[in-house]
């Protein structure tokens, strides 16, 4: 009797096993059928979100069952479903709906993990499906970004190029054109905002890009410039530090810092930053020109300040001596510059005037002759 019961039980198990497997595979099929009704074009349809959420229920069951946990069909649809959840949440965010960012990160991680399974599958059964799914969306965002850029809607272009860049990350791809175009769009948007002194908006946009592209030196330079212009030296220094951590020998970081300090009339800091750029590259002609011109202008400002005082004021001689010292520093830099740029008329003219002011008549005559020869 016991043997009969065991046989009967085994029979039930053997009959039930295929049904369980079929049921689990049906979860994948049901999820797939629901996802076939979804596309970026249908996102605005209220039923789209419902279909994706229903599909998630089916795929979540399949994802934890031993029968389908390593099934590549399960993974391709799991990747698509979780991507769609992120996509729909992004649409909600654009409408002003407050979304759970942590949950979106979780959905994104699940999608990327399943896409990786599909892409690493030796059989490559669903690899093209994964590429088509991602590439379609990425290219659509990129092309819309180009249109926005050409229409000079730079803020929208940033969002679209960033979207195209982020979408490719689901396949662990680096979309270099989207990366570059995001930077170009950001530069244009920030330039427009700085012209009207909308520093907060410029910071907000740049920080959003930096969050996604934390190793983008151009974005870091933009953030340094914004914060210097709005008078936040502490934050500017923070981003300078981040930039130098990524690229300790980046002369452009110090160059931008120096030119920003010039605009802010922080003369000593400007000189220090530009000298730092020249320490990294002694032949950096842009920094030589900026530093030489800055020192020349600074010396003239100090001389003018002295001229505004009563001639009996003890500060006059101090300021005049300071002006002369600064002029001598400008000569050193500009003469290095003119060695490589012998026909730069503006610099030759500065050198002529500087030597003349310092009483170096022979040198002044030499540079004056060179200026006149270029007329």
Instruction: Kindly state whether residue 221 falls inside one of the protein's structural domains.
Output: yes
**Is pTM, for the whole model, over 0.85?**
no
pLDDT for the residue numbered 112: 97
Shared-domain flag, residues 61 and 151: no
Domain of 54 in residue numbering reads as: 23-125
Shared-domain flag, residues 31 and 120: yes
pLDDT for the residue numbered 23: 52
Shared-domain flag, residues 117 and 146: no
Shared-domain flag, residues 121 and 179: no
pLDDT for the residue numbered 16: 36
Instruction: Kindly state whether residue 57 falls inside one of the protein's structural domains.
Output: yes
3-state class of 66 per DSSP? coil
Distances (CA, A) of 165 to 27, 77, 103, 290: 32, 22, 21, 36
Instruction: Kindly state whether residue 134 falls inside one of the protein's structural domains.
Output: no
pLDDT for the residue numbered 364: 92
Residue 268: its H or E element = helix 267-280
Shared-domain flag, residues 158 and 217: yes
Shared-domain flag, residues 92 and 158: no
Shared-domain flag, residues 145 and 95: no
pLDDT for the residue numbered 248: 87
Euclidean distance between CA atoms 375 and 368, whole angstroms: 11
121-127 contacts, C-beta under 8 A, 24 or more apart: 121/72, 123/72, 125/72, 125/73, 126/72, 126/73, 126/75, 126/76
CATH code assigned at 153: 1.25.40
11-35 pLDDT, tens digit per residue, is 333 333 343 344 557 899 988 899 8
Residue whose tokens read 């490719």 = 168
pLDDT per residue as tens, the chain (375 positions): 444 433 333 333 333 334 334 455 789 998 889 988 887 776 677 788 889 999 999 999 999 999 899 999 999 999 999 999 998 888 877 778 888 889 999 999 999 999 999 999 999 999 999 999 999 999 999 999 999 999 999 999 999 999 999 999 999 999 999 999 999 999 999 999 999 999 999 999 999 999 999 999 999 999 999 998 888 888 988 898 899 899 988 999 999 889 888 888 899 999 999 999 999 999 999 999 999 999 999 999 999 999 998 888 889 999 999 999 999 999 999 999 999 999 999 999 999 999 998 899 999 999 999 999 987
Shared-domain flag, residues 147 and 114: no
Q: What's the token pair of residue 52?
A: 């994706």
Euclidean distance between CA atoms 222 and 206, whole angstroms: 7
Shared-domain flag, residues 62 and 148: no
* Structural domain count of the chain: 3
Instruction: Kindly state whether residue 262 falls inside one of the protein's structural domains.
Output: no
Shared-domain flag, residues 313 and 375: yes
pLDDT for the residue numbered 24: 56
Count of beta carbons in the 10 Å neighbourhood of residue 195: 8
Instruction: Kindly state whether residue 250 falls inside one of the protein's structural domains.
Output: no
Instruction: Kindly state whether residue 8 falls inside one of the protein's structural domains.
Output: no
Instruction: Kindly state whether residue 261 falls inside one of the protein's structural domains.
Output: no
Shared-domain flag, residues 100 and 191: no
Shared-domain flag, residues 94 and 156: no
Q: Is 162 exposed, middle or buried (0-12, 13-18, 19+ CB in 10 A)?
A: buried
Using the 8-state DSSP alphabet, how is residue 42 labeled? Answer: G
**Residue at a domain's end among 125, 160, 193:** 125
**Residue at a domain's end among 90, 125, 160:** 125
pLDDT for the residue numbered 6: 37
**Residue at a domain's end among 92, 125, 158:** 125
Question: HSE-up of 323 (CA within 13 Å, CB side)?
Answer: 20
Euclidean distance between CA atoms 291 and 281, whole angstroms: 14
Quick one: which of 82, 69, 80 has its CA closest to 25? 69
Instruction: Kindly state whether residue 352 falls inside one of the protein's structural domains.
Output: yes
């Amino acid at each position: 009797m016991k043997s009969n019961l065991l046989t009967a039980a085994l029979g039930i198990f053997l009959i039930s096993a295929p049904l369980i497997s079929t049921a689990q595979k049906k979860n994948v099929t049901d999820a797939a059928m629901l996802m076939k009704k979804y596309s970026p074009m249908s996102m605005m349809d209220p039923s789209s979100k419902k279909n994706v959420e229903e599909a998630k229920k089916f795929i979540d069951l399949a994802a934890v069952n031993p029968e389908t946990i390593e099934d590549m069909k399960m993974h391709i649809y799991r990747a698509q479903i979780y991507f769609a959840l992120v996509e729909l949440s992004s649409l909600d965010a654009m409408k002003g709906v407050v979304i759970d960012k942590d949950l979106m990160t979780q959905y994104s991680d699940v999608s990327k993990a399943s896409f990786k399974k599909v892409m690493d599958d030796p059989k490559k059964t669903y690899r093209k499906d994964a590429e088509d799914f991602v590439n379609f969306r990425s290219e659509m965002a990129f092309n819309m970004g180009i249109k926005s850029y050409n229409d000079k809607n730079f803020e929208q272009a940033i969002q679209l190029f960033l979207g195209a860049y982020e979408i490719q990350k689901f396949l662990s791809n680096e979309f270099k054109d989207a990366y570059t175009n995001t930077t170009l769009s950001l530069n244009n948007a920030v330039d427009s905002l700085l012209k009207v002194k909308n520093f907060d908006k410029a910071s907000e946009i740049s920080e959003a890009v930096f969050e996604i592209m934390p190793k983008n030196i151009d974005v870091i330079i933009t953030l340094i410039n914004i914060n210097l212009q709005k008078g936040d030296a502490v934050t500017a220094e923070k981003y300078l530090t981040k930039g130098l951590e990524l690229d300790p020998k980046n002369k452009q970081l110090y160059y931008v810092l120096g030119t920003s300090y010039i605009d802010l009339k922080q003369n000593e800091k400007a000189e220090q930053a530009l000298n730092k750029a020249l320490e990294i590259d002694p032949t950096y002609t842009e920094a030589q020109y900026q530093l030489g011109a800055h020192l020349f202008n600074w010396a003239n400002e100090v001389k003018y300040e002295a001229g505004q005082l009563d001639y009996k004021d003890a500060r006059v001689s101090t300021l005049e001596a300071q002006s002369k010292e600064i002029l001598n520093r400008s000569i050193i830099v500009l003469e290095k510059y003119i060695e490589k740029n012998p026909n730069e008329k503006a610099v030759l003219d500065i050198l002529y005037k500087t030597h003349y002011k310092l009483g170096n008549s022979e040198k002044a005559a030499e540079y004056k002759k060179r200026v006149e020869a270029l007329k």
